[in-house]
Amino acid sequence: MIRNLTKQNWSIHFGWVKAHTGIEGNEVADTIAKEAAQDDENSNIVYDRIPTSTIAISVKEEGLKKWQAQWKRAE
């Protein structure tokens, strides 16, 4: 579907939404989007990428753990 729209000069933008929980209609939208993403078996599009904010938090936490370990070993 996305390829067909881009061939028709549609401009498609994807964005990450932090949470859909508790917002009426968003749970259904999530379910429909996931089903649509799985329908196209020939698609090379990846829908399960990790948000950069999640990676940044993980890197920060790991850095803090290493710093704390060095601090404990210091005289």
DSSP helix/strand/coil, 27: helix
Calpha distance 30→51 (Å, rounded): 17
pLDDT confidence of residue 41? 61
Q: Which of 18-22, 24-28, 63-67 has the highest mean pLDDT?
A: 63-67
pTM of the predicted structure, to 2 decimals = 0.35
Confidence of residue 65 (pLDDT cuts 50, 70, 90): very high
